[in-house]
Amino acid sequence: MDKPPLKFYNTLSRQKEIFTPIDPNKVGLYSCGPTVYDYAHIGNMRSFILSDMVRRTLEWNNYEVNQVINITDVGHLTNDTEDTGEDKVERQARASGQTVAELTKPFIDQFFQDLNSLNIKTTGTAFPKATDYITDQINLIQTLETKGFTYQTSDGIYFDTSKYEKYSELGHLNLDAQNKDSRHANSTKKKQPADFALWKFSDETTARLQEWESPWGIGFPGWHIECSAMSMKLLGNHIDIHTGGEDHVAVHHSNERAQSESATSETFVNYWLHNAFITVGGKDKMAKSADNFYTVTDLAAKGWPALAYRYLVLTAHYRSPLNFSEESITAAKNTLINLNQEIFSYPEDGDILTDYLEKFTEYINDDMGTPRAIALIHEILSTTFKTADKRATIEKFDEVLGILDENLINKTDDIIPEEIESLADDRDIARERGDWDQADLIRQQIELKGYTIKDTPNGRKISHIDYINLMLYYNM
């Protein structure tokens, strides 16, 4: 049977489109990376899981992928939609009395570790830093200036969005409404509210930690120009796929597209892909500024392996918001451990179940339908096929999903989070003083967090609850 065609949902057209590469064998993929003034949180990591899934899906379809994920270490302002406020990296370095390199190094190192523990492929991927491409950014701004797309204000060089006809397309922006909005008119020196900084002048009175000579004086690049410059330099003027979180659609990606296409008169990107947010409490975006975030390290400290988070993310479609909670990550952890335990208990060297393989490709090629692909795994496990064949088939799927890991079985099984141990201690104390109601209440709390507690002649025994079907139920 022929493979079903690979389709991606393109934010530009607001529909699923059949993927046709520019070069028949090699696909260019650019993903907006972290701003390294702090540790990346697991909301950010969803966007890199998306990038990884795009890469793995392309590889599943026999394409070679040229992948770039940038590291933002200059120009990302605290109010990035208005081009005002402070440079996030510069501000943090000053506050901690460090150089930018000193500040960013641990965050960058941790970022790579997080990618690794989330099973995000990095072989062959380029991770360019914005500060290593300043000349390319200046050259690009000069091209835009020569072509008449820029103007100067007292604080920098700006891109004139009224000169790029297609500006509103990607974000479905209502520019007339923006232009009439008096809040913008009062707060900006820009000609149109949507215009954005390409180059910002340094303040004459204070030297910045990071500033460069340019044809317009000493200063630093705006945030958006780095992605255009690095994408064009490393992957060419016209690339296949660009990804990021959905907050990038209306501003960052609209701006990247405007400046790139204005400079080259070519299409910049064929397919724009965006992930929805990780939320907390059912509605709020997980964000550094909201102080409602977890990092991968935080998860590990509570006994949730990074792969449990990857599994959780894949149980939802990437374009649907996903709520993160202690209950959902605990359920994901337990399901994933059971899954790994079962698969690695089966014999090796089985045959792949071809009907299931075809179904898997159909789901994955349909805009990366990971919830259905994961449900298929559980369906296979419930069949009466030979266990070796089940294992072989699911291991084949794992080339795309990346959720199998033999270490997970031994390692996490005996890790009981500190929080649970401490609740169990409280329960012991309540039992000692004969407060059975209180002991029962604590046991319920422990169960709510995904663990059971049994009293044996050798003392208490804590283990995790089997959630396999519960998880499927949640996501179907």
* Interacting residue ranges for ligand AMP, rule: CB under 6 A: 32, 34-35, 43-44, 46-47, 72, 244-245, 247-248, 275, 277-278, 285-287
- Spatial distance between the Cα atoms of 87 and 84, rounded to a whole number of angstroms: 9
Segment 208 to 237, residues that bind Zn ion, using CB under 5 A: 227
Smallest distance from ligand AMP to CB 251, Å: 11
Q: How far apart are CA 259 and CA 266, in angstroms?
A: 11
Q: What are phi and psi of 284, to 5 degrees?
A: -80, 135
**Binding-site partner at residue 210 among Zn ion, ligand AMP, none, CB < 5 to 8 Å by type:** none
Identify which of residues 12 and 32 has a Cβ nearer to Zn ion in the complex: 32
CA distances from residue 219 to 35, 159, 359 in whole angstroms, order as listed: 19, 16, 54
**Minimum CB distance to Zn ion smaller for 194 or for 227:** 227
Q: Output the smallest distance, CB 374 to ligand AMP, in A.
A: 19
| Smallest distance from Zn ion to CB 298, Å | 26
User: Could you tell me the smallest distance in angstroms from the CB atom of residue 269 to ligand AMP?
Assistant: 15
Let me know: does 371 contact 317? Beta carbons within 8 Å.
yes
Least Å from the CB of residue 371 to ligand AMP: 17
Residue among 285, 367, 282, 254 nearest 319 (CA): 367
SS3 412: helix
Q: Give the nearer residue to ligand AMP in terms of CB position, either 44 or 119.
A: 44
CB of 17 to ligand AMP, least distance (A): 21
Q: Which is nearer to ligand AMP, 78 or 383 (CB)?
A: 78
Rounded Cα gap, residues 366 and 86, in angstroms:
42
Contact of residue 28 among ligand AMP, Zn ion, none (CB under 5-8 Å per partner type): none
Q: Which residue is nearest to ligand AMP (CB)?
A: 245
Residues 6+ apart with CB under 8 A from 132: none
Q: How far is the CB of 405 from Zn ion (least distance, A)?
A: 31
Q: Which is nearer to ligand AMP, 10 or 361 (CB)?
A: 10
Residue 245 contacts which entry, Zn ion, ligand AMP, none (Cβ below 5-8 A, type-dependent): ligand AMP
Close Cβ partners of 124 (under 8 Å, ≥ 6 residues apart): 65, 66, 67
Which of Zn ion, ligand AMP, none is residue 44 near (CB under 5 to 8 Å by kind)?
A: ligand AMP
The H or E element spanning position 9 is: strand 7-10
Of 254, 222, 237, 249, nearest in space to 87 by CA: 222
Identity of the residue, 104 or 393, whose beta carbon is nearer to Zn ion in the bound complex: 104
Nearer residue to Zn ion within complex by CB, 247 or 389: 247
Answer yes or no whether residue 32 interacts with Zn ion by CB under 5 A. yes
- Per CB under 5 A, which region of 9-17, 25-33, 74-82, 467-475 contacts Zn ion? 25-33
Instruction: Kindly tell me which of 46 and 333 has the beta carbon lying closer to ligand AMP.
Output: 46
- Decide which of ligand AMP, Zn ion, none touches 43; Cβ closer than 5 to 8 Å per partner kind: ligand AMP
What residue 286 binds from ligand AMP, Zn ion, none (CB within 5 to 8 A, per partner kind)? ligand AMP
Cα separation, 364 vs 28, whole angstroms: 19
Yes or no: say if 430 and 439 are a contact pair by the CB < 8 Å rule.
yes
Q: Give the separation between CA 332 and CA 415, rounded to whole angstroms.
A: 15
Distance from C-alpha of 377 to C-alpha of 464, rounded to nearest angstrom:
21
Q: 67 touches which of ligand AMP, Zn ion, none (CB within 5 to 8 A by kind)?
A: none
Question: Residue 13 corresponds to which tokens in the numbers above?
Answer: 């057209």
Task: Return the number of the residue (242 or 333) whose C-beta is nearest ligand AMP.
Answer: 242
Tell me: does residue 157 bind Zn ion (CB under 5 A).
no
Q: Which is nearer to ligand AMP, 34 or 369 (CB)?
A: 34
For tokens 């701006």, what's the residue?
Answer: 255
By CB under 5 A, the count of residues binding Zn ion is: 2
Specify the amino acid at residue 422.
Answer: S
Minimum CB distance to Zn ion, residue 252 (Å): 5
The residue type at 245: G
Residue 181 amino acid letter: D
Question: Measured from the CB of residue 171, what is the shortest distance to ligand AMP in angstroms?
Answer: 14
Q: Identify the CA nearest to 110 among candidates 250, 254, 300.
A: 300
Pairing of strands 84-87, 77-79: antiparallel
* Distance in Å, CB of 323 to ligand AMP, minimum: 11
Q: Hey, what are 362's tokens?
A: 């159909």
Query: Which of Zn ion, ligand AMP, none binds 227 (CB below 5-8 Å, type-dependent)?
Result: Zn ion
> Phi, psi (5° rounding) for residue 159?
-90, 130
* Tokens 């700006």 found at: 158
Q: Which of Zn ion, ligand AMP, none lies near 47, with the C-beta cut-off 5 to 8 A by kind?
A: ligand AMP
Binding positions for Zn ion, rule: CB under 5 A: 32, 227
